[in-house]
Amino acid sequence: MQLSGTWSILNGLVATLLFSTLTPAIELNIGDEQSIKDAASTSTYSMMGWYAGNETGQIPGSFPEKWWEGSALFLALLQYWHFTGDDTYNSLMSEGMEWQSGDKGDYMPSNYSSYLGNDDQMFWGLAAMTAAELKFPDVPDKFSWLSLAQGVFNTQTARWDTTTCGGGLRWQLFPYQDGYTMKNSISNGGLFQLAARLARYTNEDKYTKWAEKIWDWSLSSPLVNNKTWNVADSTQMSNDCADAGNYQWTYNYGTYLMGAAYMYNFTSDEKWKTPVDGLLARTLKIFFPNGDVFEDTTCEPIKKCNFNEILFKGLTSSWLAFTALLVPDTAAQIKPKLASSAQAAAKSCTGNNNNTCGIAWYQNKWDGTTGMEQEISATNVFLANMINFDTGTFGPVTSKTGGNSSSDPNAGEGSGDDDKDKPITNGDKAGASILTLIFVFSWAGIMAWMMLGA
CATH assignment of the domain containing 427: 1.50.10.20
User: How many Cβ atoms sit within 10 Å of the Cβ of residue 58?
Assistant: 11
Mean per-residue pLDDT of the chain: 89
Residue 63, domain member (yes or no):
yes
Read out DSSP for 338-400? Answer: HHHHHHHHHHT--BTTTTB--S-GGGSS--S---HHHHHHHHHHHHHGGGGG--S-SS---TT
User: Which pLDDT score, from 0 to 100, does residue 193 have?
Assistant: 98
- Partners of 30 in beta bridges: none
* Count of structural domains within the chain: 1
Q: How many helices (H) and strands (E) does the chain have?
A: 16, 2
Q: Which domain holds residue 400?
A: 33-453
Rounded distance, CA 381 to CA 341, Å?
7
Nearest to 190 by CA among 250, 133, 255, 125: 255
According to the 3-state scheme, what is the secondary structure of 163-223? CCCCCCCECECCCCCCCCCEEEHHHHHHHHHHHHHHHHHHCCHHHHHHHHHHHHHHHHCCC
More reliable by pLDDT, 21 or 122: 122
Residue 14, domain member (yes or no):
no
User: Which pLDDT score, from 0 to 100, does residue 89 have?
Assistant: 98
Rounded distance, CA 310 to CA 333, Å?
24
Residue 152, domain member (yes or no):
yes
Residue 141, domain member (yes or no):
yes
Model confidence at 414, pLDDT cuts 50, 70, 90, reads low
Q: pLDDT per residue over 278-316, tens digit each?
A: 999 999 999 999 889 999 999 999 999 999 999 999 999
Nearest to 37 by CA among 84, 74, 76: 84
More reliable by pLDDT, 360 or 423: 360
Residue 428 clears pLDDT 90, i.e. is over it: no
Residue 198, domain member (yes or no):
yes
Residue 175 near residue 191, CB atoms below 8 Å: no
Residue 86, domain member (yes or no):
yes
Residue 5, domain member (yes or no):
no
